[in-house]
Amino acid sequence: MDINEVPQEGNRTMGGHKRAMYARDADGRIVIVASAGGEVDETVTLQALEFIREQTEAARKRVEAGETSPLEYWMYAQRLDLPQMSQVTGFWQWRIRRHFQPQRFAKLSGDILQRYADVMGITVEQLRTLP
Amino acid sequence: MNMLIENFQHRHAAHCESGVASSMLSHHGAKISEAMAFGLSGAMAFAFLPFIKFAGFPLIAYRMPPKAILKGMVKPFKMRFHFETFRDQAKGMRRLDELLAEGHIVGIQTSAFWLPYFPADMRFHFNAHNLIVYGKEGNDYLISDPVTEDPQRCDAESLQKARFATGLMAPKGLLYYPEEIGQKEVTAEAVLRSIKKTVRTMLGPVPIVGVRGIRMLANRVGKLDTADKLSLNYVGHIVRMQEEIGTGGAGFRFLYAAFLQEAADITGREELKVLAEKLNVIGDGWREFALKAVRMIKGREAFDPKLLAQMLHKQADDEKEFFQALKRAIA
C-alpha cells in the first residue's frame, strides 16, 4: 500500500479518531500514516452493530410480549451474547437462560441483579425495565 | 493528587501491544519502533480458531495471542519485566498510584468497553487492550493509548472498571513495567532468531495455524450457504477481524514489512528489503479480499463464496512462497 492509498474518506464509527496504518512513501520506505478510515472498515463495523441492534430490538418485542425478561434485552443492548454473559458473570448459560423467564426474573435476589447490572454498566433499576 | 512522568512521549501505533512495548522501551532508553517490537517478538502469525467464538463467530487472529509481544521483549533486551495482578480492586488502584508517584510509566491491560474516550461504536467487550498510564491529574489518569493519535484521559472509576472487567482474558488489574533493561540495542542475532520463529509458525504443521490456517478458513468460506442470511455476517466478521480489531490481516503484513526493512539494515542482508516489498504486495492482496467482501455485503456484487475462497487460497499460496523465501534469506 502506498501513502496515497491509505483510506481517508472517513469512517463514522471512529468518532473522529484516526488509526495508524503503515504504507510506502515515495522513497519506498514503509512509514506510519494516520488514517481517517474508509468504506471497507466502516461497512463491517456497521454490519456488526446492525446485527446487535436486530437482536436487541427482537428481544425488546419479546419482553413487551411477556416472553422474556428485560435481562435479555439489556444483554444485547450492552453488546453481550449468552456465552459472553456467562463469561463475564461466571453464571452457567442455562442459569442465565432461566433468568430470562419473566416470573423467575421478578424473584431474583438483589445480589444477582447487582452482578448483572455491574458487568453491563447499568443500575439495578434500569435492569428491571426496558428503556 | 497530581503526578506526571516527565519526558514521556506518546506515540500513535497500529496495534496496542506493540505500541505499548515500543513506547515503554523507548522511554527507558532502548529506542525501538513499533514495527521492531512487533517483528522482534515474532508476533506475526495467522490462526483460525473455530472453537473460540467471538460474538458468535470463530476467532481469526492475524497475530500471536495477547502478551506475546511484551514477553517477546524479555530476551532480546535482557529485560526483567514486572507483571502484577490483583484480587482486590482498591489495592490494584493504589498500587498504580504508588508506581506513578515513584516515577514509573505503567502498562495496564483493560477492557475497551469501559474506556470513555473510545468512540461508542467501537466499545466492545474486548479484554486485552493495552495502554500506558503516565500521570494523574485530580481524578483523571493521563493515558497514552497507542491506538489514538493523541494522549487521552480517563476518570478513576472508569479505569477501575476497565482494569477489572471479567470474562475471557480478564485483565485482573494487570499492570507491568520494566525493572531492568540489560541491552539497549537490537542485535542482528535477535532479529534473525525472531524471523526464524515467525517462519516456523507460518509454515508449521498445525492445521489451524499459519498458511494451513488460511487454507482452512478458505475452505470454510467456500462452503458458506448463500441462502443463509448469517453467511454475509460471517464474511463481514472475517474482514472486521482483519481490518478493524487490532488492525489485523493486511495491517500486520504492512507492519511486518516495515520490520523487515529495519531488519535489512541491522543484519546487512539486502534480500530482506526485497522481501519487504513482496510482503507489501501480499498485504495489498488482503485488502483486495476485504474490498471484494464488502462489495458483496453491500450488494454491489453477487455473493460468491467460491470466489472469496479462491482469493484466500491465493493469499495462502503467496504467503507460503513468501515465508519459504524468507527462510532461505536468513539461512
When the pLDDT of each residue in chain B is averaged and rounded to a whole number, the result is 94
Of A24, A30, A44, the CB nearest to B236: A44
Number of domains in chain B: 2
pLDDT in tens, B93-107: 999 999 999 999 999
Q: In chain B, what percentage of residues exceed pLDDT 70?
A: 98
The whole-number pLDDT of residue B149 equals 95
Q: Which of B181, B196, B216 is the last residue in one of the domains?
A: B181
| Domain identity same for A29 and A54 | no
| Domain identity same for B19 and B163 | yes
| Domain identity same for A33 and A89 | no
| Domain identity same for A7 and A60 | no
| Domain identity same for B134 and B230 | no
- A77 in a domain, yes or no? yes
User: How many contacts does A have with B, using Cβ atoms within 8 A?
Assistant: 124
- A44 in a domain, yes or no? no
| Domain identity same for A110 and A54 | yes
Q: Are B209 and B45 in contact (CB under 8 A)?
A: yes
C-alpha distance from B69 to closest chain A C-alpha (Å): 18
Cβ contact A119–B148 (<8 Å) = no
| Domain identity same for B86 and B168 | yes
pLDDT in tens, B284-326: 999 999 999 999 999 999 999 999 999 999 999 999 999 999 9
Q: Give the residue among A71, A69, A70 at the shortest CA–CA distance from A89.
A: A71
Q: How confident is the model at residue A97 (pLDDT cuts 50, 70, 90)?
A: very high
- B103 in a domain, yes or no? yes
- B61 in a domain, yes or no? no
| Domain identity same for A57 and A83 | yes
The whole-number pLDDT of residue A60 equals 98
Segments forming the whole domain that contains residue B10: 2-31+79-181
Calculate the alpha carbon distances from A34 to A54, B5, B12, B121 in Å: 33, 26, 8, 19
> Taking CB atoms and an 8 Å cutoff, what residues of chain A touch B35?
22, 30
A111 C-beta neighbours (distance < 10 Å), count = 7
Among the ranges given (B101-105, B124-128, B271-275), the one the predictor scored with the smallest mean pLDDT: B124-128
| For A44, nearest residue in chain B (alpha carbons) | B236
The whole-number pLDDT of residue B258 equals 97
- B248 in a domain, yes or no? yes
- Report how far residue A40's alpha carbon sits from residue B284's, in angstroms, rounded to the nearest whole number: 14
- A106 in a domain, yes or no? yes
| Domain identity same for B195 and B247 | yes
| Domain identity same for B89 and B194 | no
Q: What is the mean pLDDT of residues B152-163?
A: 98
- A87 in a domain, yes or no? yes
The whole-number pLDDT of residue B251 equals 87
| Domain identity same for A97 and A61 | yes
The whole-number pLDDT of residue B243 equals 75
Residue B39 has pLDDT above 70, yes or no: yes
- A15 in a domain, yes or no? yes
Global ipTM:
0.92
B109-113 LR contacts (CB < 8 Å, sep 24+): B109/B66, B109/B163, B109/B171, B109/B174, B109/B175, B110/B159, B110/B162, B110/B163, B110/B165, B110/B171, B111/B161, B111/B162, B111/B165, B111/B167, B111/B171, B112/B162, B113/A79, B113/A121, B113/B162, B113/B165
Report B:101-140 residues touching A (Cβ under 8 A): 113-114, 119-125
Segments forming the whole domain that contains residue A67: 50-128
| Domain identity same for B127 and B222 | no
The whole-number pLDDT of residue B62 equals 87
| Domain identity same for B148 and B203 | no
pLDDT in tens, B203-227: 999 999 999 999 999 999 999 999 9
Chain A contact present for B52, CB below 8 A? no
| Domain identity same for B133 and B203 | no
Residue B164 burial (10 A CB sphere; 0-12, 13-18, 19+): buried
When the pLDDT of each residue in chain A is averaged and rounded to a whole number, the result is 95
Chain B contact present for A131, CB below 8 A? no
The whole-number pLDDT of residue B242 equals 84
Any idea what the CATH number is for the domain that residue B88 is in?
Answer: 3.90.70
